[in-house]
């Protein structure tokens, strides 16, 4: 038979996504060079579904109906180029290739041009939600070849997560827009994860509360305005006990964090675009800091400071309330930073993004799904040209209601010697953005002093240079 859809790469994500497609009535075929993965696809498929696994490229391509739809879910970088090169001799004009991995967006732009020469449609589509999302409903971020996406839209809308009956997938924009939006999604993810880790650290090391206290707090938070997937799983993680020792499992996990690079890409590109992204930047930095374990152990002894009581928050209700308000403040600021980056990137790279649409498909399925994304969607629906979420009256009002608790939490962490750079930079971003004047006039004078870089004045037009000495 001719199969509707093909998948190259049958790891957990690829296999689950293909089984999801099969569950919605489409016939599917998967390709993996590992025979065990190819056979696992057929073993896991429900009875009666048209699902085939193979290790043969020729058999895989020959089984697909024309024009063929082939999705790649392989590691970003050389593996994607290798997969395309291996498929190309078997593909025909009009076939569609979709890259569903976390590819760096310039690579997507290059691949679009390369495959256009062969008259093959290509587009990048970010997929978020992890293995469960892939199996039961992810958020998907396609961009690029609109004609190709429209042909496959019924497939993707069928398998996507749904919020209020609306699928969490939509065509986002031109070129590498889909991969770019997924990259920024992952940068925001880095930021929120760092904020949750800081909340846990301050509560436990700084204020002396137990893992059980933290677990109950995060579980309660998930029924509040900070409800989100990352808050939910944090509560679940803290509940898990080690089978051998009976201790909280999280306390036995190494504090050396790993990363695959999407957070770094987000920060690097934000710097290229001159978009301030401090919460994401510091989240990447703190993962880097975690790698210096041996040095940190030495420094803990060499740089030990006396314990200080500082601004203790003794009442549990006050602790929980202030922490929740501070976290919500920082979370909103993190989303705001990422969405500014998307707005600037859209203009720079001609993506033609609609930020309401981005917020809409992030509401379900993806790792950064959260209740506040509906408020964010409303903000861009009311004002599509909104420069920054902080300028939306409702979002700005939420920040103003919570900034005092944010300052109290930051001061408490300083007094306790607990690093909370994510909270600090989120607050600094808020304060800098609402400052009508900044001290960069002094920096301009310094640059002119040592490098004759010139400066502008506020009282007259023109460009000036001064002999300062």
Cis previous bond, 67, omega within 30? yes
Q: By C-alpha distance, which of 175, 199, 176, 179 is closest to 187? A: 179
Question: Is 90 among the annotated ligand-binding positions?
Answer: no
* Active-site annotation holder among 37, 52, 189, 398: 189
On whether the CB atoms of residues 430 and 398 are closer than 8 A, the answer is no
User: How many residues can be counted in the chain?
Assistant: 469
Residue 417, CA atoms < 13 Å, CB-side half-sphere:
9
Q: By C-alpha distance, which of 176, 114, 184 is closest to 352? A: 176
Residues with Cβ < 8 Å from 49, sequence gap 6 or more? 19, 22, 23
Q: By C-alpha distance, which of 87, 96, 128 is closest to 4? A: 96
On whether the CB atoms of residues 130 and 367 are closer than 8 A, the answer is yes
Q: Examine the residue annotation and report whether 374 is marked as an active-site residue of this protein.
A: no
Q: Examine the residue annotation and report whether 189 is marked as an active-site residue of this protein.
A: yes
Alpha-helix runs per DSSP H in 353-439:
355-362, 372-382, 393-416, 421-433
Question: Is 132 among the annotated ligand-binding positions?
Answer: no
- Sheet strands (E) in 91-150: 96-99, 121-128, 139-144
Question: Is 173 among the annotated ligand-binding positions?
Answer: no
Question: Is 128 among the annotated ligand-binding positions?
Answer: yes
On whether the CB atoms of residues 365 and 207 are closer than 8 A, the answer is no
* Active-site annotation holder among 182, 264, 360, 416: 182
Question: Is 457 among the annotated ligand-binding positions?
Answer: no
Question: Is 129 among the annotated ligand-binding positions?
Answer: yes
Give me the residues paired with residue 54 across strands. Answer: 31
> How many other CB atoms sit within 10 Å of the CB of residue 459?
4
Over its C-alpha atoms, the chain yields an Rg (Å, rounded) of 25
| Cα–Cα dist 224/280, whole Å | 24
| Cα–Cα dist 194/122, whole Å | 35
What is the maximum alpha-carbon separation in the chain?
A: 85
Question: Is 260 among the annotated ligand-binding positions?
Answer: yes
On whether the CB atoms of residues 226 and 234 are closer than 8 A, the answer is no
Per residue in 4-42, is it b (16+ CB within 10 Å) or e — as a string? bbbbbbbeebbbbbbbbbbbeebbbbbbbeeeebbebbe
Question: Is 324 among the annotated ligand-binding positions?
Answer: no
Question: Is 453 among the annotated ligand-binding positions?
Answer: yes
On whether the CB atoms of residues 467 and 452 are closer than 8 A, the answer is no
Residues acting as catalytic residues: 182, 189
Residues of each annotated binding site for substrate:
102, 128-130, 185-186, 190, 260, 287, 447, 453
């Amino acid at each position: 038979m001719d199969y509707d859809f093909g998948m190259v790469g049958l790891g957990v994500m690829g296999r689950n996504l293909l089984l999801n497609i099969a569950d919605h009535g489409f016939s599917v075929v998967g390709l993996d060079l590992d025979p065990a993965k190819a056979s696992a696809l057929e073993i896991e498929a429900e009875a009666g579904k048209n699902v085939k696994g193979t290790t043969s490229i020729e058999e895989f391509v020959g089984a697909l109906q024309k024009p063929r739809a082939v999705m790649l879910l392989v590691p970003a970088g050389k593996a994607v180029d290798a997969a395309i090169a291996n498929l190309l001799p078997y593909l025909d004009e009009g076939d569609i290739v979709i890259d569903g991995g976390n590819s760096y967006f310039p690579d997507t732009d290059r691949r679009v041009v390369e495959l256009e020469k062969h008259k093959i449609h290509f587009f990048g589509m970010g997929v978020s939600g992890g293995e469960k999302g892939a199996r039961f409903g992810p958020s998907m971020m396609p961009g690029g070849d609109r004609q190709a996406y429209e042909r496959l839209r019924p497939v993707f809308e069928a398998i996507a997560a749904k919020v209020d009956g609306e699928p969490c997938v939509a065509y986002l924009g031109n070129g590498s827009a889909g991969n770019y939006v997924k990259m920024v999604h992952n940068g925001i993810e880095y930021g929120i994860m760092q904020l949750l880790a800081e909340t846990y650290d301050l509560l436990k090391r700084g204020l002396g509360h137990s893992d059980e206290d933290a677990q109950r707090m995060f579980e309660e938070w998930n029924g509040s305005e900070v409800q989100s997937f990352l808050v939910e799983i944090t509560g679940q993680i803290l509940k898990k006990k080690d089978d051998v020792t009976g201790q909280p499992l999280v306390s036995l996990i190494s504090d050396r964090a790993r990363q695959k690079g999407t957070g770094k890409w987000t920060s690097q590109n934000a710097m290229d675009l001159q978009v301030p992204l401090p919460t994401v930047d510091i989240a990447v930095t703190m993962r880097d800091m975690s790698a210096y374990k041996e040095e940190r152990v030495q420094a803990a002894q060499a740089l030990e400071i006396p314990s200080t009581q500082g601004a203790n928050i003794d009442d549990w209700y006050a602790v929980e309330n202030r922490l929740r308000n501070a976290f919500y403040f920082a979370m909103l600021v993190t989303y705001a930073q990422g969405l500014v980056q998307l707005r600037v990137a859209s203009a720079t790279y001609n993506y033609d993004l609609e930020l309401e649409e981005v917020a809409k498909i992030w509401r379900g399925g993806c790792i950064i799904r959260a209740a506040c994304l509906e408020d964010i969607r409303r903000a861009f629906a009311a004002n599509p040209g909104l420069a920054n979420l902080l300028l939306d009256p409702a979002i700005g009002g939420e920040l103003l209601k919570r900034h005092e608790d944010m300052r109290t939490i930051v001061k408490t962490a300083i007094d306790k010697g607990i690093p909370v750079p994510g909270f600090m930079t989120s607050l600094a971003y808020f304060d800098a953005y609402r400052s009508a004047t900044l001290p960069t006039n002094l920096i301009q004078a310094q640059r002119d002093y040592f490098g004759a870089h010139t400066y502008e004045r506020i009282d007259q037009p023109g460009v000036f240079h001064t002999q300062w000495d």
